[in-house]
Structures are given as structure tokens and as C-alpha cells.
Structure 1
Amino acid sequence: MAWLYLIIAALFETAWTFSVKYFKFSSFRLLNTTNIYKAEGIYIVAPLLGYIIFGIANVYFFSLAIKQVPTAMAFAVWTASTLVFIKLVDVFFFRQHISWAETFFLMLIMIGIIGMRIYSVSPDK
């Protein structure tokens, strides 16, 4: 179950990252009672709400995972998974290109994580 928690935490971290990308403090001056419920107000408030909600969910699921998985392993898997998810969102939703070199190095990261998982020493309880 801990590995599932790590993947869920990585998905929330990915959503949190894009919330930070679109979060603008300067836009809050434009927010008032007449436009807060309209589309222009939603575009201002949504990144802030995403920042808070996705951040809390990310920390919650990551904390569940590190209770069952060694901390270094959990952090490595969480970070690598987040990196892959961010790149997938960039490619499929934002239509950014991915080079063969990027693909190769992402695969190296994932191979390293799998290697750590296979060859890690489990703690004695």
C-alpha cells in the first residue's frame, strides 16, 4: 500500500507544481466581489486553492508512505515519479516536445529507482 501512497503523493505533487506555475500574486488586486464567481475570478483563485489542497494531500500521502518504506527510498521514488508525471503532463497537455535524450535520461532515473527497490536491504523488525 505504501507504493500506492507514493504514486498518489507524486500525482498531487505534480498538480501542486502546476498550481505554483499559474499562481500570480499580482492578479489578486483584480479580484473583487463582482468577479470572484465569474470565470475571471476563478482563474485567479483556482491556483491558490490548488496550491493549498494539492500541497496538503501531497504531504498527507507522502507521510503515510514513509511510515512503511525507508525514507531515502520513498523520497527517491516520489521525486522520480513526480518528474516523470510532470514531463508527461508537459508532453500530452501542453504539447511540448520531448527529445530522445530526455526520454533516455528519464528511463535511467526509473531504472535506478527499480534497482534501488530490488537491491535495497530491508530493515529488521
Structure 2
Amino acid sequence: MKWVYLFAAIILEVSGTVFMKLSEGFTKLGFSILMIVFYLASLGVLSLAIKNIDTSVAYAIWSGVGITLISVIGVVFLKESISLMKVVSILLIMAGIIGLKLSGVE
């Protein structure tokens, strides 16, 4: 169940980040409220995950997978630029996450 909590926290955090972009600097109230709700929900669910996963590992996975997902969403849906350096950097983040998982984290 701990990994389900962590995955849910990641999805909620990424959703909050998308709503942050859509809020246009807090000028759109509805998106601003959704951003706050999703971020608070993400932190709440993350706190459930770290009850049974090392905090350093859970946070690294939460932030790393979140960065990767929001980068893909930014390029595909928000028409943000992509470069070789961005792709390599994201791959390095993912390599770190895989390394954490292979290190025996249950």
C-alpha cells in the first residue's frame, strides 16, 4: 500500500504543478484553488507513504518522478521547448530513481 500512496502523491503533485501553470501567477482563481488543493492532498498522501518508506527515498522518488512527468507534460501539452540537455538530465534523474529501487528499498 505504501507504493500506492507514493504514486498517488506523485500524481497529485504533478496535477498541482499543472494547475500552477494554468493559474497564470494566481490570476485565475479557480486554477489557483485547485493548485492549492492538489498540493495539500499530495503532501497528505506523501505523509502516509513515508510512514513505511524511508523519507529520503520516498522524497527522492516523489520529486524525481514528478520532475520527469511534469517535463513530459510540459513538452507534449504545454508546448514547452525540449533539448538534448533536458532529455539527458531527465534520464539521469530516472537512473537515480532506478538505482534507489535496486538498492533494496522495499
TM-score normalised by length of structure 1 = 0.73
Q: How does 1:64-103 map to 2 (within 5 A)?
A: 64-103=48-87
Residue identity opposite 2:58 in structure 1 = A
Number of the residue aligned with 2:18: 18
Residue identity opposite 1:61 in structure 2 = V
Deviation, structure 1 residue 70? 0.4
Secondary structure of the 1:95 match is coil
Secondary structure of the 1:67 match is coil
Name stretches of at least 5 consecutive residues in structure 1 with no aligned partner: 28-43
Write out per-residue CA displacement over residues 89-118 of structure 1, whole angstroms, 9 at most, x where no aligned residue. 101111223212211111111111111121
Moved over 3 A (4+): none
Matched, 1:106 2:93: no
What number of residue pairs does the alignment pair up?
105
Residue identity opposite 1:13 in structure 2 = E
Q: How does 1:41-80 map to 2 (within 5 A)?
A: 44-80=28-64
The structure that has the greater radius of gyration is 1
Cα distance in 2, alignment partners of residues 107 and 24 from structure 1? 29
Secondary structure of the 1:69 match is coil
Contact 1:84 1:106 in 2 (8 A): yes
Cα distance in 1, alignment partners of residues 72 and 48 from structure 2? 25
Cα distance in 2, alignment partners of residues 56 and 108 from structure 1? 28
